[in-house]
Structure 1
């Protein structure tokens, strides 16, 4: 009974708020509106914090001789791909027109990349070197990371964390008023909130995958590269945690989701390449043990 009461409190805080309306999309992928939780963490403030943190990261990398110079081939490559993607971000978030976009390469073995609020992009050499990414695969990764910023997932997560903390305190107060142990109530509520936050994070990751596919396809990059990308990732992340305990969906789930949305994005890709959809050849990555990806 006690646990049921606490779960209802937390669920009520996270649920019941409709998503904000999304600008109509005439073609491509369809996702819901951006989360109203963003109102608890103003995006403008996050963008300023991100710009400061990004500058500090670049300065540290430069001090450690780990910042890719402007004439580095991979830096030139990353910026060229970004320049093709950026014009297709505006339909997802008009504010991105005024962002001061930056794209940099950091020397690290980490298999990682990110885009902070305001368009601050960083790729680690580890993701390029370990996965041997093709341009199409880089575009899929970059589109995914850009989508997080466009959909303001940082503000959304900050808002959800604030609400979760409030929910834990509220559960303790209500439990105490009803004669239950407030500490136990707080522990249970905290656990429920944590699992809820993981689920929300997985939803954000899936949304970023979908929006990123749309952006990459419009820029002329093959969306099927996302399937090969996650097959590569599966080869290097064999010891990843179970999907339900991870902030990222499992690789097989992401591949299935990408396949489900190919009918929406492949026409965009064919149009960008100015070819008939039926005449597109299979996508072939540079790993011999990964089969060509066909459509349909």
Structure 2
């Protein structure tokens, strides 16, 4: 029985594949739509918790700044990936000066912490690199992929006789929140988000060199240890060099003439 079940599991894993925007093959036991639905619930719960603690920023100038930058990036994302026009694009500015972090859930629900902006003294171009990177995770369905890898691991455990309750719980909103915010993406996903994000930022009119200066500042902001953003976004030692190598390719996109549209991104308040 266990052999037959394991064979069935392996068959599901082999056929449940998708292709990322860079052409990479992805495991997709959880569909992007399922991840988006779970993330929506998780995001609303998280925002309610932030609001209850008074952590949603009231700084209108900062909120407008983040909204404008994010709106220009999302406009490019929707242009490149038209299906995402149906997403509930939103961003929260979390008033937490000690936390150097940002994240995105499936379906375009994002957050950035004031600590990231303040401790790095981030320019608009550098904030664009942060948000572009996070938008890229959403565009590439990295949350669904991460949930799928976790589910595949659970299915493997079931195959050797463990109860199924944990696997069924994988679809829960609490798990979606944990996967989206607390657990790191793979280095492959991080490299992919770097590539997609720097291109989105360049198309939106933000200087690609800022990707290099951003990560330098992020490392310096660590002090005695890496900031949370780096701990949840694993980075190879040569990340800055890889980004620097992309800059010449991105400059024509940055220098292209024409208006940069702004998408109406909702602000979580």
Normalised-by-shorter TM-score class: 0.7 to 0.9
Kept in 1: contact 2:185–2:232 (CA 8 A): no
* Counterpart pick for 1:232 among 206, 209, 217: 217
Question: Could you say if the C-alpha distance between residues 246 and 97 of structure 1 is closer, same or farther in structure 2, counting changes exceeding 3 Å?
Answer: closer
Task: Give TM-score, length-normalised by structure 1.
Answer: 0.67
Task: Give TM-score, length-normalised by structure 2.
Answer: 0.73
Displacement of 1:141 after TM fit?
Answer: 0.1
**Is the counterpart of residue 249 in structure 1 residue 238 in structure 2?**
no
* Counterpart pick for 1:140 among 129, 134, 139: 129
Alpha-carbon displacement from aligned partner over 1:39-90 (angstroms, at most 9, x marks no partner): x102212212212221222222222221123x61111100011111112113
Whole-angstrom CA distance in 2 between matches of 1:139 and 1:249:
19
Q: Secondary structure at the match of 2:78?
A: coil
* Counterpart pick for 1:158 among 142, 147, 152: 147
Q: Secondary structure at the match of 1:89?
A: helix
Displacement of 1:266 after TM fit?
Answer: 1.3
Give the root-mean-square deviation of aligned CA atoms: 3.1
**Is the counterpart of residue 50 in structure 1 residue 59 in structure 2?**
no
Query: Could you list the runs of 5+ residues in structure 2 that have no partner in the other structure?
Result: 1-9, 162-182, 260-269
Whole-angstrom CA distance in 2 between matches of 1:67 and 1:162:
33
Return 141-150 or 198-207, whichever deviates more: 198-207
Aligned to 2:252: 267
Q: Secondary structure at the match of 1:248?
A: coil
Return 150-159 or 71-80, whichever deviates more: 71-80
Aligned to 1:223: 208
Whole-angstrom CA distance in 1 between matches of 2:191 and 2:64:
29
Displacement of 1:22 after TM fit?
Answer: 6.0
Alpha-carbon displacement from aligned partner over 1:102-131 (angstroms, at most 9, x marks no partner): 122111121111121111111111111111
Question: Could you say if the C-alpha distance between residues 57 and 255 of structure 1 is closer, same or farther in structure 2, counting changes exceeding 3 Å?
Answer: same
Query: Could you list the runs of 5+ residues in structure 1 that have no partner in the other structure?
Result: 1-11, 24-30, 174-197, 275-296
Higher relative contact order (CA 8 A, sep 6+): 2
**Is the counterpart of residue 64 in structure 1 residue 48 in structure 2?**
no
Q: How many residues align?
A: 225
Whole-angstrom CA distance in 2 between matches of 1:102 and 1:77:
14
Q: Secondary structure at the match of 1:144?
A: helix
The structure with the larger Rg is 1
**Is the counterpart of residue 83 in structure 1 residue 74 in structure 2?**
no
Displacement of 1:167 after TM fit?
Answer: 3.7
Q: Secondary structure at the match of 2:238?
A: helix
Aligned to 2:186: 201
**Is the counterpart of residue 214 in structure 1 residue 206 in structure 2?**
no
Displacement of 1:95 after TM fit?
Answer: 2.4
